[in-house]
Amino acid sequence: MIGTFRPALILVGLLTLLSGVLMPLAFTGLASLVFPFQAHGSLLKKDGKIFGSVLIGQNFTAARYFHPRPSATTEPDPKDPSKTISVPYAADNSAGSNLAPSAKALIERVKSDLPSMGPHPAPADAVTASGSGLDPDISRAYAERQVARVAAARHLPETAVRDLVNRFVKTPTLGFIGEERVNVLMLNDALDQMPKP
């Protein structure tokens, strides 16, 4: 009986060692050598301290920064754990709102956001949350829509801020997948590094 199970147990042990330990270590080591920035979480550092990842959005709300798209992430309400409260860009609770286009709550939020967007129509990502609630990018159109506000708040010429946006525009993947986009964290970091007027 043991003789029958021995080859199966040895095979399970070898395959577990190979596919569960050795291959992940090899791929992690190779990725660290070939793509070190991406393999370690695409983390941005300032003065030796991590201040964010280009893969996870942050909730910038000050007028002097480019704002991300709305976030639908929530956390349990500290006063009543049976309810939730809005906590934008809560990376520990990635989720979409799952609200239908006809949902009253979504319609009211979009209507309240639209006046601050300037002339209509507003870019879709300016008033709608992403599926994860943590999207780090905005469309080029939404970034350009914010140039005047950011330039005024920082006392910079609009052309300088627009040129900075253009430097951070990523083209569609393979030239046709997706749309032009801008990483908000990288753009805001570059804004902070611009010389004061």
Whole-number pLDDT of residue 173: 87
From the first residue on, what is the mean pLDDT of each consecutive set of 10 residues in the chain (197 residues)?
82 93 92 88 87 89 92 83 81 74 80 75 83 88 93 94 95 89 95 83
Distance CA 101, CA 105 (A): 10
- Which SS3 state, helix, strand or coil, does residue 29 take? helix
- Write the DSSP assignment of 101-163 as a string of letters: TT-HHHHHHHHHHGGGG-SSSPPHHHHS--SSS---EEEHHHHHHHHHHHHHHHT--HHHHHH
Whole-number pLDDT of residue 26: 93
Look up the pTM and report it.
Answer: 0.79
Our CA angle for 76, 136, 94, nearest 5°, is 25
41: left (phi over 0), alpha (psi -120 to 50) or beta: left
Q: DSSP assignment, residue 179?
A: -
**Rg of the chain in Å (alpha carbons):** 23
Whole-number pLDDT of residue 47: 86
Whole-number pLDDT of residue 180: 92
- Which SS3 state, helix, strand or coil, does residue 50 take? strand
Whole-number pLDDT of residue 142: 92
Whole-number pLDDT of residue 5: 83
Q: What are the boundaries of each domain within the chain?
A: 36-68+136-197, 69-135
Whole-number pLDDT of residue 197: 67
Whole-number pLDDT of residue 121: 83
